[in-house]
Amino acid sequence: MLSLRGVSKNFGGVRALRDIDLDVRPREVLGVVGDNAAGKSTLAGIIAGAHRPDAGRILVDGRPVVLGSPADARRLGIAAVFQNLALCENLDVVENLFLAHEPTRAGFLDEVAMEREAWDLLGQLATSVPSLRAPVRELSGGQRQIVAVARALLGSPRVVVLDEPTAALGVRQTAEVLNLVERLRERGHAVVFISHQAADLQAVADRFVVLRLGRFGGELDAAGTGYEDLLAAMTGASRPSGRKHG
């Protein structure tokens, strides 16, 4: 569905990514794992169109594409939720979901349609928030993630990129987000779950791609890969048996 081939990215004299290969398959959760400074957020930005690679190719359905902006990515069916979530604290759930994309009827906001679509979407994700009219500042960290993901799904993307979605969340909130990731897979989305939390990735990922200091560190199938194996791959204590795609 989505492929990166030989992708590299520099920021000044800092090489954030070097020669990265990656494949995203339909109805799969791909876990991208790495320690701090591994290049994970840079990779998320490239897939989402926020950063343009300095080298390499991006392919969608086998065809080379240019992701010059997040709008380009969304037109190709790729949506992302970054760590900062980009939610407006003073607006309620519905207003955040439709911000800058509000449906109108006879020149006025169609509040009924917005609420109906919001309820339908949250229901399909098998999740909920206390109230659609609750200000986002009153929601828990897990509920804010749910709102941000629901907003990303409004355009029916095929690929959803989640950048550190469980960072700084408690146990219960993390469980809510992991359940949400499973719902996304069940709905037919491909999910790129980027995190340094190996245990969270193990709970939902079908495959792992390891990044280490901006380089491809290997690929592993979730089946048969233990927590210690994943940590060893992240730190370079051992190299996964999966090989880099050419």
Q: Can you give the pLDDT at residue 71?
A: 93
Instruction: Quote the CA–CA distance of 51 and 33 in Å, as a whole number.
Output: 19
The pLDDT tens digits for 58-102 are 999 999 999 999 999 999 999 999 988 889 999 999 999 998 888
The pLDDT tens digits for 109-167 are 888 999 999 998 888 887 878 899 999 999 998 899 989 999 999 888 999 999 999 98
CB neighbours (10 Å) of residue 60? 18
Q: How confident is the model at residue 36 (pLDDT cuts 50, 70, 90)?
A: confident
CATH H superfamily, domain 2-89+157-235: P-loop containing nucleotide triphosphate hydrolases (3.40.50.300)
Q: How confident is the model at residue 19 (pLDDT cuts 50, 70, 90)?
A: very high
Number of helices (H) and strands (E), helices first, in the chain?
8, 12
Is the pLDDT reported for residue 243 higher than 50?
Answer: no
Structure-block tokens of residue 215: 């380089």
Domain map (residue ranges) of the chain:
2-89+157-235
Q: Can you give the pLDDT at residue 238?
A: 61
- The residue-averaged pLDDT of 18-37 equals 95
Q: Can you give the pLDDT at residue 246?
A: 39
Residue for token pair 């709008």: 71
DSSP 142-185: HHHHHHHHHHHGGG--SEEEEESTTTT--HHHHHHHHHHHHHHH
